[in-house]
Structure 1
Amino acid sequence: MDISLKARAGYFLKRAAAFRPTRVWNFARQIADEQGKWAPPIFVDMLWSAAFRDTAYIDYYEADFALLSRSERKTFMTSLIQHHLATAVNDREDAKTLEDKINFNRAFGDFLGREWMQLDDTDAAALAAFAARHPVIIAKVPVSREGKGVFRYDTAEVTDWDAFRAELIGKGQILIEQPIVQHPYLASYCAGTVNTTRITTYFDGTTVHPLVMVQKFGRGAVSDQFTWGGFFTMLDDDGHSVGPGHTGKHKSSYLVHPESGQSIVEFQVPLWDQVLALVDQAARRIPTVPYVGWDVAVGPEAPVLIEGNWIPGLYETRVSTTGIREGSRPRHERVMGDALRR
């Protein structure tokens, strides 16, 4: 699965313009310190990989490329390859339905399993009534990534609803949602955060293909994303963990959850068949956007959809943590290989 010459040339020019030798050297030194290697060869290899192997410096680091052979590296997805796939197969205009969380909620309302409202389209009385039904609310910035636009409020002490509404609107937090109640098994890992399952799928017009499956775990914050201290473990086709969890951002390994002590290596997504059925239905809804990373929360009785990402987000195993030396690229190649040559 070779990426098109046009895409590679564009990437090379972009990387060349952003090249900062000090930043790359710092990455090389960090990798060398963590893996007991010599920094200069890693530095050269990172430059070569960026120029000729479609591998950004952060991809090189997060996927432990310094520990992998050339053939093993070819089995891993990189940011460039994934971005090119997403832009090649997904209709950019239709993808706005996924990009904007309010548009997403409208399009996938029957999969949400929760009440929501658009704050700038209603008044303070409606917000107060919503909070009376759901004293803790989730407020979101409609267009944001990595959990950065998600906030949680306990409204028990709010007395001036006009002022509270104005404050939220001023911050851009105009999507208000009912909190999700997660499955007791997931809550046993971290009750303070909804621990979500990410499944990246490709719809070929007939079949929905699950390509990457990941379980994310929070640490008590409003989101389980890395930006909030979260970590993840890769999943097999049966929804079972394939090894320890890790952050992908630094040397880390979680055999158990740091707070609850629950086993990560023995984790099994509850109601797995229902989770797969849910993303299968969701993936068919906008066929012009066939390559999507879905975030799913498993409730006590059924899974619900949180959002869809038209650029799915790069999740790969780390050999230094899991011992697994093959990535998800072969699975992508089997169903999406032609897209890279567009």
Structure 2
Amino acid sequence: MPNIKYVLQRITQMDYKSMIDTAKKVHMRSGKNTMSIFFDMIKCGFQYQAGYMDYWVFEFETLTPAQRATYITRGQNNRYVRLLNKKESWYKISDKVNFLKIFDGYHGRDWMDLREHTPQEFEVFCQQHSKIVAKLLDGSCGRGIEFFETGDKSKIVGLYDMLLAGKRYLVEEYLTQHEQINKLYPMAVNTIRLVTIKNGDTVHLVFACIRIGNGKEVDNLNSGGMAALIDMETGKISTPAADKNGKAYDIHPLTKVKLIGYPLPFFQEGVELVKKAALLIPDLAYVGWDVAVTPTGPVLIEANEFPGHDLYQFQVQLGPDKIGLMPRFDKACEGLAPVNE
């Protein structure tokens, strides 16, 4: 049953120009009439709570009604968040400093909140770590992240004040990733996204992919990166990688690494790590975890109380039946009552 409040809100807030532009893009991709696509988008908004970007990314123009009904759209993703994540507890992981405190021992790196440290203490931190990462406390999609080489003392002159002025209060040591992950793409820390749903004392792994950088220092899809699914049993990449436009890559365009079948070290250890971590936040049962793989094992980079659903259902990564992930997610949620009602 569609969430009427959500649908009405989306109608009043819709960027109709972008919607029409997207319909034109779908026309170029499919050859179908632009206006028929536009009205089909509106229909999908009501029937499947799908935004126009869902329509584009998941290639809804190619799907039957039965197939469309299995997709985790923007509205359906909101449903899982409402069902599973107590809103008053979002801050526990949305604020990156809170996250690091709660998961001390799970994230494997030094960090500093500049609001609580002096310039002299920051200088000592930089002397201990030749490269650092500065972040906004509530940044997402790879935005607001900056990297600094700090091995030379002259490079940090004025840096403390600059970071404070830009509200990049969180400073972390830059992690060295495992050689096997580095071969995929060395300019970014390529993180594994593991999505868990906690039902009682059982933590279900419902989605696994690796995000890989492509020309920038971050791996996020919204910053030009790509994502490939991981076989949950073998820990190997099982599909081509796809970018935000759905373009498929069997081979990384820059490193020329063949992706399908590529083994990811410490994958099962990463799964066990997030399952243990999930039990530390009982009010947040639907979480997207970002895991980095270091030479000695997996560590948590961050957690998302509102996991992005755009990674879930690229057509190039689904089977021939083109069925989405909703049946898998709903099975993990069986018997749960909404936490926000």
TM-score by structure 1 length? 0.92
| Deviation of 1:338 (Å) | 5.5
Deviation by residue 1:141-198 (Cα, 9 ceiling, x = unmatched): 1111101021101124553857221110110111111111111111001111100000
SS in 2 for 1:110: coil
Q: Which moved more, 1:222-231 or 1:325-334?
A: 222-231
Question: Paired residue for 1:271?
Answer: 266
Q: Per the alignment, do residues 251 and 273 of structure 1 end up closer, same or farther by CA in structure 2, a change over 3 Å counting?
A: closer
| Deviation of 1:106 (Å) | 0.5
Question: Paired residue for 2:29?
Answer: 34
Task: State the distance in 1 between where 2:150 and 2:207 align.
Answer: 38
Task: State the distance in 1 between where 2:333 and 2:163 align.
Answer: 42
Question: Paired residue for 1:242?
Answer: 238
Task: State the distance in 1 between where 2:55 and 2:88 align.
Answer: 32
Contact 2:45-2:51 at 8 Å conserved across structures: yes
Question: Paired residue for 1:52?
Answer: 47
Contact 1:233-1:245 at 8 Å conserved across structures: yes
- Give runs of aligned pairs for residues 150-189 of structure 1, distance below 5 A: 150-159=145-154, 163-189=158-184
Task: State the distance in 1 between where 2:289 and 2:258 align.
Answer: 24
Residue 65 of structure 2 aligns with an amino acid whose one-letter code is R
| Deviation of 1:83 (Å) | 1.5
Q: Per the alignment, do residues 261 and 237 of structure 1 end up closer, same or farther by CA in structure 2, a change over 3 Å counting?
A: same
Question: Paired residue for 1:74?
Answer: 69
Question: Paired residue for 1:333?
Answer: 330
Q: Which moved more, 1:205-214 or 1:12-21?
A: 12-21
Question: Paired residue for 1:229?
Answer: 224
Task: State the distance in 2 between where 1:172 and 1:50 align.
Answer: 37
Task: State the distance in 1 between where 2:335 and 2:40 align.
Answer: 28
Residue from 282, 285, 289 that aligns with 2:280 = 285
Residue 22 of structure 2 aligns with an amino acid whose one-letter code is F
Task: State the distance in 2 between where 1:35 and 1:139 align.
Answer: 43
Residue from 50, 64, 78 that aligns with 2:59 = 64
Task: State the distance in 1 between where 2:84 and 2:141 align.
Answer: 23
- Give runs of aligned pairs for residues 86-105 of structure 1, distance below 5 A: 86-105=81-100
Q: Which moved more, 1:158-167 or 1:135-144?
A: 158-167
Deviation by residue 1:52-79 (Cα, 9 ceiling, x = unmatched): 2211111111111111111111221011
**5+ residue gaps, structure 1:** none
| Deviation of 1:80 (Å) | 1.0
**5+ residue gaps, structure 2:** none
Question: Paired residue for 1:144?
Answer: 139
Q: Which moved more, 1:162-171 or 1:131-140?
A: 162-171
| Deviation of 1:266 (Å) | 2.1
Kindly tell me the number of residue pairs found equivalent between the two proteins: 336
Task: State the distance in 2 between where 1:32 and 1:227 align.
Answer: 23
Question: Paired residue for 1:128?
Answer: 123
Q: Which moved more, 1:225-234 or 1:189-198?
A: 225-234
- Percent identical among aligned pairs is 27
Please state if 1:252 is matched with 2:247: yes
Question: Paired residue for 1:84?
Answer: 79
| Deviation of 1:337 (Å) | 4.9
| Deviation of 1:10 (Å) | 1.1
SS in 2 for 1:159: helix
Residue 260 of structure 2 aligns with an amino acid whose one-letter code is V
Please state if 1:112 is matched with 2:107: yes
Residue 312 of structure 1 aligns with an amino acid whose one-letter code is P
Task: State the distance in 2 between where 1:280 and 1:131 align.
Answer: 33
SS in 2 for 1:24: helix
Task: State the distance in 2 between where 1:79 and 1:151 align.
Answer: 29
Task: State the distance in 1 between where 2:26 and 2:250 align.
Answer: 22
Deviation by residue 1:85-126 (Cα, 9 ceiling, x = unmatched): 112321222221100000100110100111111112111111
Contact 1:63-1:316 at 8 Å conserved across structures: no
Task: State the distance in 2 between where 1:166 and 1:48 align.
Answer: 51
Contact 1:294-1:305 at 8 Å conserved across structures: yes
Question: Paired residue for 2:205?
Answer: 210
Contact 1:191-1:220 at 8 Å conserved across structures: no
| Deviation of 1:20 (Å) | 4.3
Q: Per the alignment, do residues 70 and 268 of structure 1 end up closer, same or farther by CA in structure 2, a change over 3 Å counting?
A: farther
Task: State the distance in 1 between where 2:74 and 2:179 align.
Answer: 35
Contact 1:34-1:251 at 8 Å conserved across structures: no
Deviation by residue 1:204-259 (Cα, 9 ceiling, x = unmatched): 12110011111100125332112331110122322333321111x32411111111
Q: Per the alignment, do residues 162 and 121 of structure 1 end up closer, same or farther by CA in structure 2, a change over 3 Å counting?
A: farther
Task: State the distance in 1 between where 2:196 and 2:155 align.
Answer: 44
SS in 2 for 1:209: strand
Contact 2:229-2:317 at 8 Å conserved across structures: no
Question: Paired residue for 1:318?
Answer: 314
Residue 318 of structure 1 aligns with an amino acid whose one-letter code is F
Q: Per the alignment, do residues 175 and 306 of structure 1 end up closer, same or farther by CA in structure 2, a change over 3 Å counting?
A: same
Q: Per the alignment, do residues 78 and 25 of structure 1 end up closer, same or farther by CA in structure 2, a change over 3 Å counting?
A: same
